[in-house]
Every structure is written in structure tokens, then in C-alpha cells.
Amino acid sequence: ILAAGSETAADGIVNLAGGVNAVEGFSGYKQMSDEAIVTARPEVILMMDNAGPAVSDDELFSNPSIASTPAGAARKVIRMDGGYLLGFGPRTAEAIRDLAVSLYGGQVTD
């Protein structure tokens, strides 16, 4: 699993949407070990779909380290287009709102 640590576009957009990046202890993008995934205990998995899903939900949640997290137990994954979410351009505000709605649903108001 490739994860976004601090000082990344993904970390920034998650924070702007009111979320908390479960990945701690490194900056940039790095491969995470199974132990690190379990320790992070993500409540949701955020995946970028650029040309369609690289991995199906069933494949994702069959990974034992993912399955043992709160996100795995709830089968909670959010898939968004990477260019849209991480592009930081004219659509950034809309992308932040879309992510916030995906994370918090009806709790998000204009």
C-alpha cells in the first residue's frame, strides 16, 4: 500500500476537508508495511482512481492488514479521481467539499 504522509497534496486536501490523515511519522509518499497499516487504524481508505479502480473493494478488504482496521471492518473506502482531488486548481474548493461530503455526509453544510 502506497500511503501519503505529511507534506503531501493528499494530506493537505484531507485536512482541508476536515479529515485526519491516519498516516503519521513520515513526509511524502511511501510504501506501508502490514504492521504500519494495522497501527494507523484508518477509519476510511481514500484511494485515487485515475483510469478506473486498480484494485476492487473485495481485493482491498481481503488484505488481512486492511481487514483488521476500522475501515476494513466497515468496508469503508472513498474513491476519487486523483487529478480532480489533488490538482489544486480552479476546482479545488469543489473537490474539498466533495471529499468532506464523502467523509461526513449530511453533516456538511454550505
pTM of the model: 0.88
The full set of domain ranges for the chain reads 2-107
What number of helices (H) and strands (E) belong to the chain? 7, 4
pLDDT of residue 54: 77
Cα 2 to Cα 19, 28, 45, distances in angstroms: 19, 10, 12
Count of CB atoms within 10 A of residue 2's CB? 8
CATH number corresponding to 2-107? 3.40.50.1980
Q: From CA 39, how far away is CA 35, in angstroms rounded?
A: 6
Report the chain's mean pLDDT, rounded to a whole number: 92
